[in-house]
Amino acid sequence: MTPCTKPPKSSPKVGTANLSEASLTGEFALIARLRARLPAIGDDAAVVALPPGDLLLTADAVVSGVHFDLDLVGIDDVGWKALAVNVSDVAAMGGRPLHALVTVAGPLATVDLDALYDGVLAAAEVFACPVVGGDLVAAPVLIVSVAVTGTLDGSAPVLRSGAAPGDVLFVTGPLGSSAAGLELLRTGRGSEAPDLALAHRRPRARVAEGRAARTAGATAMIDLSDGLASDVRHIAEASGVGVALDRVPVAVGVARATGDDGVAAALGGGEDYELLFAAPDPGRVEDAFSAAGLTRPLAIGRCTADAGERRLADGDLPEGGWEHTW
Amino acid sequence: MTPCTKPPKSSPKVGTANLSEASLTGEFALIARLRARLPAIGDDAAVVALPPGDLLLTADAVVSGVHFDLDLVGIDDVGWKALAVNVSDVAAMGGRPLHALVTVAGPLATVDLDALYDGVLAAAEVFACPVVGGDLVAAPVLIVSVAVTGTLDGSAPVLRSGAAPGDVLFVTGPLGSSAAGLELLRTGRGSEAPDLALAHRRPRARVAEGRAARTAGATAMIDLSDGLASDVRHIAEASGVGVALDRVPVAVGVARATGDDGVAAALGGGEDYELLFAAPDPGRVEDAFSAAGLTRPLAIGRCTADAGERRLADGDLPEGGWEHTW
C-alpha cells in the first residue's frame, strides 16, 4: 500500500492525547502501546504517497448507545465497524481505500483501547487500509470517528446520480443479515446463527464488488447502510428515475431469526453494506464479476422513466430504513 | 482550490444523519440548510482532484467540557477552532490545506448547528480549506471531529526529527495570548483585552509562515498546541538534540492578564498555534519571511549537541504544557 513516511499527532490540549505523544507516563503507557502498533504515527500530520487520479474522501462516526451497544457487541467489533463503514463508502464509488485516520473520544481510562484497536487494525488489514493517524480525546461517551481516503485508480467515480431508465438494478448479495443478527443478539440467541451475528458485528465492505460494478459500466451505486427501501430512493432521487423492484433477496436464516418472511429486515434493517447499483448491460455485469472471481450480483428490478415511481412487485415500495431519531 | 465533483454521505443508522441525506423531513430541514451551505456534499464519498506530490493527512477532535466551555466561547468559535487546529497541523509540516471532513456528534436537536457551521465555514474560507464531507451523529455530548488533507506542492515535509546541533530555534510570534485570553474569559474580563480573548476563541493557523520556514530550510517544525515547554521537547526528542532557550517571547497584554510576568502562560499555556521551527541559517529565514511579506520570526535559542540538555537561560527549562488528565 502507499508508503507512509512520517505521520500524525494532533493538537493536544487538556484531555487530548495524540497518537504521537512523545513523553509517556502513567496513562500514556497506553499510547506507547498503541504507537507500537501504529508505526506510521508520529508527526503533526501523516505524509503519504498517492496513486494518480482523483482522491476519494469520506468520514463516518459511531457512538455508543446510538450506533452500538457494548452489551451486544465487543469493543473490537466497534473498531472494526467504524473502519468498515467508511471503506464501504469508498467501495460505493467504485474505489479502493488507501488510508484511515481514527479518532477515539471516550472515557479513556475505562475503555479497553487495546481491544478497540484490535478491531480497527483487523479491519485495516482485511480492507488494505492502513491507519496513518488520528487522535485520542477524553469524552464522557465513546465515539469512534474515522476518515478514509481512497482512489479510483484513474477511473471515473460511480455516483448516485447516473442511473437511466432501463438500467437494471443489482445488489451484491442477499439482505437482512445484519438486522437479523442484531435481533438474535438482542434476544440472547446470537449463537443460534453465528453467521448472522457476525454479519452485524463485523460487516464486510464490498470493495472488489464495487470495482467490478464500475468496470461493468455501473451508472449509479450506493452502499446499503440504511436499508434497501431507503437507499434505492437515494439513487432514484439523485438520478431522476423511477424504480420498479421485482423482488427483495433475503439472506438465508433471516426469516427464521426474525419470525416473519424476512423482507422487512431486508428492506429496512440497514447495515448490510452490500452494494446497490444500476447498470445497462447485465451480460457485462456478469462477465466483470466472473472475471474478478466474485459471486454474481442479484438483479432485483430496473430503473424506469417515471421519476415518481417507487414500486415493489405489484405494489408500492414501502417506506423504510432506519428512522433518524434525534 | 481543488475542484470537487460529487461528495460524501456516511453510513446512516439510528441517529445518524449524513450531510447528503436526500429525503428531508422534520429535523432534516436542518440538514437541508447545511447542505445548501456545503455545495460539495452529496454522494457516498467526496471526489477531489489533487496537486502533484505527497498528501498530508491529519485528524483532531474537540470535546465540550474538555477542550471548550460553551459558557466562555461561542459555538461558532468551537467550529472555527476544530478546523483551525487541523490546518495548524498541516502548516507545521510546511504544507497548505486542501480539504476538510467535519463530523459533528452531539445532542443535535439542541445544538445550534447553523452557528457551529458559521464558524467552521468562516475558518474554511480564511484557511482556504473547503469542507467536502463529514457526518452528523446523535450523541449525548458535543464533539467536533475533523480530518484535513494538505499538500506540500512537491516539496519535502518538515518533520519534527530533522533538527541538528547549531540550528537556531524560532517561533513565529510571541506566546501566551490564548492562555491569557482564556483566563480573561474565565474571570469575566474578556472585554478588557478583546485581542487576547480572540486569540483563544479563534486561533490562527500559520500556513504562510510554515511554508516560509520550509522555504528557508527549516530542519524541524511543530505547532505550539501544548505550549513551548512541552512542544520544544518533542522536537528535541524526535531529533535527538538538546535545546538551550535564551528567552521566551511573551505577547503584549499577557502579563497584565495573568498578573505575573506571563512566562508561565507562554511556556505552558498552550493553544497559541504559533509554529516553532529549527533552521541552520537565520539570514535565509529572514529573507524567506520577508519575501513572503510576513513578520520576521523570533529567535529564541538553539539546538545543542547534548541530547539531554533542556535549558532556559541559566536554568532548567521547566516542565509544562497542558496536563493530559483522563
- CA angle in degrees (0–180, nearest 5) for A287-A204-A324: 115
d(CA A53, CA B107): 38
For residue B221, give the C-alpha cell.
Answer: 517544525
Distance from CA of B155 to the nearest CA of A (A): 11
Average pLDDT, chain B: 90
Cβ atoms of A276 and A229 closer than 8 Å? no
Residue in A9, A16, A150 nearest the CB of B45: A150
B105/A138 touch (CB, cutoff 8 Å), yes or no: no
Distance from CA of A6 to the nearest CA of B (A): 7
B95/A45 touch (CB, cutoff 8 Å), yes or no: yes
pLDDT tens per residue across span B56-73: 999 999 999 999 999 999
SS3 B269: coil
According to DSSP, the β-strands at B220-223 and B275-279 are antiparallel
SS3 B219: coil
d(CA A104, CA A41): 15
> Which of A58, A62, A96, A237 should be substituted to probe chain B, the one whose Cβ sees the most B Cβ atoms within 10 Å?
A58
For residue A10, give the C-alpha cell.
Answer: 494532533
d(CA B262, CA B232): 18
- pLDDT value of residue A271: 95
Return the residue of A nearest to B268 by Cα: A13
CA distances from B83 to A257, B41, B95, B207 (A): 45, 17, 15, 13
**Domains of chain B by start residue, with CATH:** 16-151 (3.30.1330.10), 168-316 (3.90.650.10)
B141/A137 touch (CB, cutoff 8 Å), yes or no: no
Percent of chain B clearing pLDDT 90 (strictly above): 83
> Which of A1, A11, A237 should be substituted to probe chain B, the one whose Cβ sees the most B Cβ atoms within 10 Å?
A11
User: Would the pLDDT of B325 be above 90?
Assistant: no
Return the residue of B nearest to A157 by Cα: B47
Nearest to B140, CA basis, from A102, A109, A63: A63
Cβ atoms of A233 and A308 closer than 8 Å? no
Residues 6+ apart with CB under 8 A from B283: none
A61/B137 touch (CB, cutoff 8 Å), yes or no: yes
Nearest to B150, CA basis, from A43, A156, A123: A43
Residue in A47, A149, A238 nearest the CB of B93: A47
Residue in A55, A59, A140 nearest the CB of B140: A140
Cβ atoms of A128 and A96 closer than 8 Å? yes
d(CA B134, CA B23): 18
Return the residue of B nearest to A92 by Cα: B44
Strand spans (E) along chain A: 16-17, 46-48, 55-63, 96-106, 131-138, 143-151, 168-171, 220-223, 242-245, 275-279, 298-304, 310-312, 315-316
- pLDDT value of residue B321: 52
Residue in A43, A99, A149 nearest the CB of B93: A43
Percent of chain B clearing pLDDT 70 (strictly above): 88
Return the residue of A nearest to B227 by Cα: A13
Return the residue of B nearest to A8 by Cα: B58
User: Complex ipTM, two decimals?
Assistant: 0.90
Please report residues of A whose CB lies closer than 8 A to that of B135.
59-61, 145
Q: Is A102 exposed, middle or buried (0-12, 13-18, 19+ CB in 10 A)?
A: buried
B141/A141 touch (CB, cutoff 8 Å), yes or no: yes
| Amino acid, single-letter form, for residue B245 | L
| Amino acid, single-letter form, for residue B33 | R
Distance from CA of A57 to the nearest CA of B (A): 5
Distance from CA of B112 to the nearest CA of A (A): 14
Cβ atoms of A321 and A253 closer than 8 Å? no
- DSSP code string of B46-57: EEE---SS-EEE
Q: How far is CA B143 from the centre of its chain?
A: 16
Strands of the sheet containing B168-171, edge to edge, are: B220-223, B275-279, B168-171, B298-304, B242-245, B310-312, B315-316
- pLDDT value of residue A16: 45
- Segment B187-198 shows an average pLDDT of 96
Distance from CA of B177 to the nearest CA of A (A): 15
Q: Does B233 or B24 have the greater pLDDT score?
A: B233
Please report residues of B whose CB lies closer than 8 A to that of A152.
47
Cell 408500492 maps to which residue?
A316
Confidence band (pLDDT; 50, 70, 90) for B137? very high
pLDDT tens per residue across span B6-39: 323 333 333 445 554 433 344 556 667 777 887 6
Return the residue of B nearest to A203 by Cα: B11
Q: What is the mean pLDDT of each run of 10 residues along chain A (326 residues)?
A: 31 42 48 75 90 96 95 98 98 98 94 95 97 94 98 97 98 98 96 96 98 98 96 97 98 96 94 98 98 98 98 92 43
Residue in B161, B271, B326 nearest the CB of A108: B326
